[in-house]
Chains A and B, each alone.
Chain A
């Protein structure tokens, strides 16, 4: 197993730029997810790492070995594909053994390598069946077996779960993650599904328009997105993004919009800095991090809330209640997620509290998060 480092990697298809100056690192034994909307360059990135596509600029290293000029075979990697890419003319065992056949090993040696893989993936029962007869999940397991059998430096997963049914998806997701941890393999996962990325990866790299937006562990990505794109892309329901301005009312700094404003703590006000003064800003708050008070009068809940609003819509999502709250007299709409049932009807008043730790303040012009904890690229 090896670490993978990309340094200023660029790729062009004619005039179209697939990736621009892409740099990131996936440590040995880690799973890195490349996440982004379709056409963001994640598949091109993956094919460049695999050596299927040429690189137009920059370097790719496995550990400290430059692999730019190496063919896919020389890189010693394995791939798991979206539509499995199993050879339909071969049985399960033959498919798994195929990468080893090249080495012209005797049959006995082949079996010695293939059998443990079959066992690991619970495929012994089907080893002689035609791969077309298997369910999607089983087919993908065969494909993972084919990747594992040759002890690759790196396994690349290209949307491995996209074509599976919901139950098989969750099952295989866990299985892949457990295998990856147990065998200590380095993995790069390409996906457009954020749940998948967050559940399976140690680090998530969000890409858009061929550029890296942010690479961080899933939690940081979720709570402190580096820019508006990531804020929008990650999270369901999406982050509340409210246009505000920074004001100073003498008592302290406030983020204010027509009809409402919230006060900022000392530390956070400092971090936003002078630069933000007078600029158009966007306040970002995750629906799940907003504090809700439904007890009236507000004094019972420890002082007035940051914002007083009215519930206009309520949605039950099984594990949470999602409320749409409007600030009266404005067109500000805030989505709030609550774990407990609130029993609030339409039109009921509600108090919202925005703790400082939940705040993200973006520069509307550049989209950058002025409160980014750190920015690693």
Chain B
């Protein structure tokens, strides 16, 4: 059995039609991508060997991302750019590896992620104001599904609005939310709270994960 000589981390983009690939399907997709690429990926040992790869964070169906992270190992030394290019050569529209590097931090170092999205509305002024008002509340209680059932949590302390701009027909937001092995908040929690908080009709569009961060809001790598 060959051993893992390169422990690698790919940052990849998931956009366009690829955003409809569910997390479960992404697993199967990557298996086939690796096989098509012909890269010497390291297989797990044991009864049912399969190529080892692992995604840092799951991405909700319908979200785009410019910063997805996947770890995998190779059994042979190879230039990092070649690894990237060979994967990209067999990827479909919307999936693209942006970089491949050695794994630096452990996945457990991830603390948060940033998302951008637009709230499309006929009343951007009012919606903008409503969001400010929501964020000024002492607490924002949401019901969150956990393994033990539904529990009510206050998400206010963990929401960090990075930017918020209004345009002709939308409010465009960037937000930082906890992510990683402990707590994962999804922008839909904030969007849902806003919808409950005001009666202004809006639709969320173009939700995209833009950064995966570790301590001190540094880019995780």
A binds B: no
Task: Point out residues on A near B: beta carbons under 8 Å.
Answer: none
